[in-house]
Amino acid sequence: MKQRIFPAWNFATAMLVAGLLSAAGLRAQTTPAARPAEPNKDKDDLVNLSPFVVSDTTDRGYIATRASGATKINTPMIELPHSIQVLNSEFIADTGSATVFQAARYASNVAGGSQRGDDALLIRGFAVTRLRNGQPYAQQNAFTFDEMAAFDRVEVIKGASAVLYGSASPGGLINLVDKRPLPKQQTSLSLMAGSYSFYKALLDTTGPATKLGNVEINYRAIAAYEDSESWRTFAFRKRSYLNGALEFRLTKDTNLLSRIEYQRDKLKDSYGKPYIWFSPANVGTLLNIPDEFFRGDPSIDKKRVARFIWDTTLQHRFSDSWTARASLAYGDAFSSRTEVFISAQGAVINLFPRFTQYIPRDEQQWVGEVDLLGKFKLGPTSHQLLAGVNFYDQEINDSNLRYNVSPSLFDIFNPVYGSTTVGSEVTTTRRVAFTSSKWRSPFIQDQFGIWDDKLQFIVGVRRDDLKQSVKSFVTGVTTPNNQHKVSPRYGVLWRVNQEFSVYASYNESFTPATGAGSVQGIPFPSPTAEQTEVGTKFELFNKRLFGGIAVFENSRRNLTTVDVLNPGFSVATGEVTSKGGELDLGVSVTKDWQVILAVGFQKATTTKDNVPANIGLEQPNVPNQSGSLWTKYGFSTGGMKGLNLGFGVTYVGDRAGVRDSVPRSFAVPGYTIGNALISYSRGENKFSLNVENLTDERYIMNGQARLADPGEHRNFRLTYTRNF
């Protein structure tokens, strides 16, 4: 497959962002320096204009009390019959979160994490669906970490939301909310340096660009460059990132926002260190090799990712009661991985067969949606009616080409690098395929209340129509996969008083099936899921404490399992169930002291399977217990004014390791790590020091198939920020 890093997008993106930066520079020559934006009338007008958008002007420190991702509507979280946590920009900055996982781990029952270039998140025992600004993410499969500098907040939404978002994980969603252009001039420049030769520069500028007649135009431009090595031998990452947005205030009722993003990563990463696997008596025991172990060959291993995203949203308010929104996004990504893999362990404990894989992937996606929101009264009931339709078109060219290598065995106790030569292709495992997927999905949802909204309901339904085909260029066979699914959603909430609410909710979701491994040779039915949740939310002490308690049960069905009547084939009769409870708290003890606390309990097990030994097995990398705490104290008066001290701790209990045959189930040990912050602000200057893994704990972040992924060693990151 021919590699391409879209030079046209490179040029167009660079020119647009450079133009935005130039405009900012020219304006800076004639505009007085401004502090970082504070709540202001213009920004509040934007919030009033958009019932879909949430602003941080309502946040109290770390405490965010409104969210849009759960219902697509800006709603007080105490009125949502779902568990949801919001991690805002202040929290993300204070914790030094460089990845989505590093922020989301401070929400309850969030697990996973990876050092290999993706977050590998789990919520309530299941993989996560990601959104961007409340829309399907046009490029969530680009095999690289998102650039956190782009985001204003991260919403962790528990439970299935297929009514609004179609194919969705039963565990939950991560909604990444971008920073928006602001009408007040502000610019910040951050320079970072840290352990393992980490260096990064970040520029974030926003403000009014110009005015064309009555049309106000605001801009935002974000640029970042990173060059870093790793505590893992040979691993590194180089990133170039550009993000530009223009907002057109066409009238007081009409708003157009258009954004482009370009990210290019060059990196080398490692898949961890191996377990003992061939001996049933010792399976799951880590081999005695350092965490820094590199299982590939640096002369061959390389990974390249380049992606471009463009999105635009037009919103018009017809009246105080009716608002329409139309959005369109395009994503284009190319990734290329060449890696030396170690295969199944042989009879000698330290010798592993190995091979090389070349895995290119080229994908394009169009995502669009039209929404109509109406607010009205009908007799004694008040309604927020949301109706819409969205589409999702995706084309993927992907390949997996395997090659023999010499030497064919790798001694992990005495690794030799730089001498690997690539031999002939293993044609029996060749994959070259083209996948085309087209979704069309109308939906409707009504949030309505009675008795002065003390009793509130959510009722919704969605129909998904999927037309998919997978063409194999190896066999010449095209496999169709056309599916239809209706997903309902129900929720009820009792607003006991201004400080308490109790709720119950029920959701259904599905994910499209892939493959045709049944004896009939037809696609499997779609895996479906049901989620039930009961909980309470509270907002106490003049909104200085916000929290929630929830219990839940998720079941995912139609999972493939062995066809006992037809060996070598599968049937879709398996089931996995996750049950648990959780507590999330945000506390503003004083205006200077902030606390975030999360505690989770869950158990995810196989409840139906045609192999009896599988029933009751826990799902991999899902801890039964987990918890986190982050607290920060800032001095706002006296001789220590401007000093902030922060400390965080995350606990993850024992988990099951990934297995690829029964009864090879084993435990991955739990861990506790501490993190810290020291920062000092004076005038327009800020210095901050973040420390990850204070005690230099050695731990396993997750257990992959035959490989353990060690977590980060202790590292320091110093940041200097200048605001203009």
The 10s digit of each residue's pLDDT in 313-342 is: 999 999 999 999 999 999 999 999 999 988
Domains of the chain: 7-723 (2.40.170.20)
Q: What is the pLDDT of residue 113?
A: 73
H or E element: which one contains 19?
helix 7-30
Q: What is the pLDDT of residue 29?
A: 35
Across 107-185, where does the E strand assignment appear? Answer: 110-112, 121-123, 126-127, 129-132, 135-136, 151-158, 172-178
Which range has the top average pLDDT, 133-147, 609-623, 684-698?
Answer: 684-698
| 675-698: average pLDDT | 96
CA distances from 236 to 99, 120, 330 (A): 16, 19, 29
Q: What is the pLDDT of residue 705?
A: 65
**How sure is the predictor about 34, in pLDDT bands with cuts at 50, 70 and 90?**
very low
Q: What is the pLDDT of residue 480?
A: 84
Share of residues in the chain with pLDDT > 70 (%): 83
**How sure is the predictor about 11, in pLDDT bands with cuts at 50, 70 and 90?**
very low
Of 135-139, 171-175, 234-238, 657-661, minimum mean pLDDT range:
657-661
The 10s digit of each residue's pLDDT in 245-270 is: 999 999 999 999 999 999 999 998 87
Q: What is the pLDDT of residue 2?
A: 40
The alpha carbon of residue 542 and the mean position of all alpha carbons in its chain are separated, in whole angstroms, by 32
Q: What is the pLDDT of residue 160?
A: 65
The 10s digit of each residue's pLDDT in 617-649 is: 888 889 999 999 999 999 999 989 999 999 999
Please give the Cα distance from 663 to 676 (Å, whole number): 41
| 95-121: average pLDDT | 86
Q: What is the pLDDT of residue 348?
A: 78
Of 122-131, 197-206, 523-532, minimum mean pLDDT range:
523-532
Q: What is the pLDDT of residue 698?
A: 92
Statement: residue 41 has pLDDT above 50: no
Q: What is the pLDDT of residue 22?
A: 37
Considering only residues 359 and 568, tell me which one the structure prediction assigns the higher pLDDT.
Answer: 359
Considering only residues 558 and 684, tell me which one the structure prediction assigns the higher pLDDT.
Answer: 684
Of 159-168, 188-197, 394-403, minimum mean pLDDT range:
159-168
Written as one letter, the residue type at 625 is: Q
**How sure is the predictor about 58, in pLDDT bands with cuts at 50, 70 and 90?**
low
Give just the sign of the alpha carbon dihedral 316, 318, 320, 324: negative
Please give the Cα distance from 492 to 505 (Å, whole number): 6
Please give the Cα distance from 42 to 313 (Å, whole number): 19
| 411-422: average pLDDT | 91
Q: What is the pLDDT of residue 261?
A: 96
Written as one letter, the residue type at 188 is: S
Statement: residue 538 has pLDDT above 70: yes
**How sure is the predictor about 284, in pLDDT bands with cuts at 50, 70 and 90?**
low
Considering only residues 11 and 160, tell me which one the structure prediction assigns the higher pLDDT.
Answer: 160
**How sure is the predictor about 165, in pLDDT bands with cuts at 50, 70 and 90?**
low
pTM to 2 decimal places: 0.88
Q: What is the pLDDT of residue 27?
A: 41
Across 430-544, where does the E strand assignment appear? Answer: 431-450, 455-472, 478-494, 500-510, 528-540
Strand pairing partners for 121? 112
**How sure is the predictor about 272, in pLDDT bands with cuts at 50, 70 and 90?**
confident
Q: What is the pLDDT of residue 16?
A: 42
Q: Write b or e for each residue in 414-445: b if 16 or more Cβ atoms lie within 10 A of its Cβ, otherwise e.
A: eeebeebebeeeeeeeeebbbbebbbebebbb
Using an 8 Å Cβ cutoff, are 349 and 338 in contact?
no
Q: What is the pLDDT of residue 572?
A: 67
R_g of the chain computed on alpha carbons = 26
Q: What is the pLDDT of residue 485?
A: 84
| 545-573: average pLDDT | 75
Who contacts 110 (Cβ-Cβ below 8 Å, separation ≥6)?
A: 101, 104, 121, 122, 123, 156, 600, 626
Pairing, β 715-723 against β 685-692: antiparallel
**How sure is the predictor about 676, in pLDDT bands with cuts at 50, 70 and 90?**
very high
Please give the Cα distance from 288 to 124 (Å, whole number): 32
Please give the Cα distance from 78 to 496 (Å, whole number): 11
Q: What is the pLDDT of residue 170?
A: 82
Pairing, β 172-178 against β 129-132: parallel
Q: What is the pLDDT of residue 514?
A: 59
**How sure is the predictor about 508, in pLDDT bands with cuts at 50, 70 and 90?**
confident
For 142, the 3-state DSSP assignment is coil
Q: What is the pLDDT of residue 211?
A: 87
Of 25-29, 314-318, 484-488, minimum mean pLDDT range:
25-29
Q: What is the pLDDT of residue 522?
A: 58
Written as one letter, the residue type at 492 is: V
Q: What is the pLDDT of residue 119?
A: 74
Picking from 145, 193, 239, 233, the residue whose alpha carbon sits closest to that of residue 716 is: 193
For 45, the 3-state DSSP assignment is helix
Average per-residue pLDDT for the chain: 84
| 218-223: average pLDDT | 97
Who contacts 96 (Cβ-Cβ below 8 Å, separation ≥6)?
A: 102, 675, 677, 688, 690, 692, 717, 719
Statement: residue 39 has pLDDT above 50: no
Statement: residue 408 has pLDDT above 60: yes
* φ, ψ for residue 44, nearest 5 deg: -65, -35
Considering only residues 517 and 473, tell me which one the structure prediction assigns the higher pLDDT.
Answer: 473
